[in-house]
Amino acid sequence: MKVYFLGTNGWYDSDLGNTLCVLVETKQAYIVFDAGSGLSKLDKYIKDSRPVFLFLSHFHLDHIIGFHALNKFNFPKGLAVFGTLGIKKVFKVIVNLPYTMPLSMLNMKVRVAEIKKGLRFPFKLSFAKLHHSTQCYGYRLSADNKTLAFCTDTG
Ligand SMILES: [Zn+2]
């Protein structure tokens, strides 16, 4: 397991970095947590056909603003995006005109779904609600005999 911190800033980019995006490379898949402006760097690290999964903590802009960069990616197996209740509605608004290129014009297939118990992935994943001003999830990932937790924006 390798972890790449593509963005760790809150609210906005600075000279030191981008807003939140963490890439976890495992033997079976690439796992991305949040889609801040650091998301635009994904293609520097994703170089093969392993599936790519993206898990959103919540919909504050600093965690989703990177979606406007989706048009530069063409992952062989597309992208599977999971998030809290309402993600399909949010995605349809944000990843669409007039904000950015709509899903139908992207170079790859993007699947969007609410995270829920019982979903199967090529790694072990659990999630729990965090304490934040809006619905927000933290994730616990186990793969390659290692475990990490991604918990952002919580009290
Ligand atoms: Zn937040």
CA angle 132, 32, 58 (to 5 degrees): 20
pLDDT at 133: 95
How much is the pTM? Answer: 0.96
Cα dihedral value 150, 126, 68, 2, nearest 10: 50
Taking the centre of ligand 1 as the mean of its atom positions, its distance from the CA of residue 47, in whole angstroms, is 30
What pLDDT does residue 100 have? 95
Residues in the chain: 155
Tell me, in angstroms, the distance from the centre of ligand 1 to residue 137's CA.
Answer: 10
CA distances from 8 to 71, 75, 76, 93 (A): 22, 24, 27, 25
Task: Report pLDDT for 40.
Answer: 97
Instruction: Give the residue carrying structure tokens 């999971």.
Output: 82
Domain holding 56, by residue range, is: 2-150
Asked if the structure places residue 133 within a domain, the reply is yes
Task: Please tell me the distance between residue 136's alpha carbon and the centre of ligand 1 in angstroms.
Answer: 8
Cα(60) to centroid of ligand 1, in Å?
A: 5
Angstrom distance (rounded) from CA 16 to CA 32:
21
Could you give the number of structural domains in the chain? Answer: 1
Q: What is the mean pLDDT of the chain?
A: 96
Q: What is the pLDDT of residues 83-122, one digit of tens each?
A: 999 999 999 999 999 999 999 999 999 999 999 999 999 9
Backbone angles phi, psi at 93, to 5 degrees: -80, -50
Question: What pLDDT does residue 81 have?
Answer: 98
Looking up residue 54, the CATH number of its domain turns out to be 3.60.15.10
pLDDT single digits (tens) 17-48: 999 999 999 999 999 999 999 999 999 999 99
Residue 140 lies in a domain: yes
Question: How many angstroms is it from 61 CA to the middle of ligand 1?
Answer: 8
What is the distance in A from the centroid of ligand 1 to the CA of 33?
14
59 CA to middle of ligand 1, Å? 7
Looking at residues 134-145, what average pLDDT do you find? 97
Mean predicted confidence (pLDDT) in 59-80:
96
155 domain residue, yes or no: no
CA of 83 to the centre of ligand 1 (A): 14
Predicted pLDDT of residue 23:
98
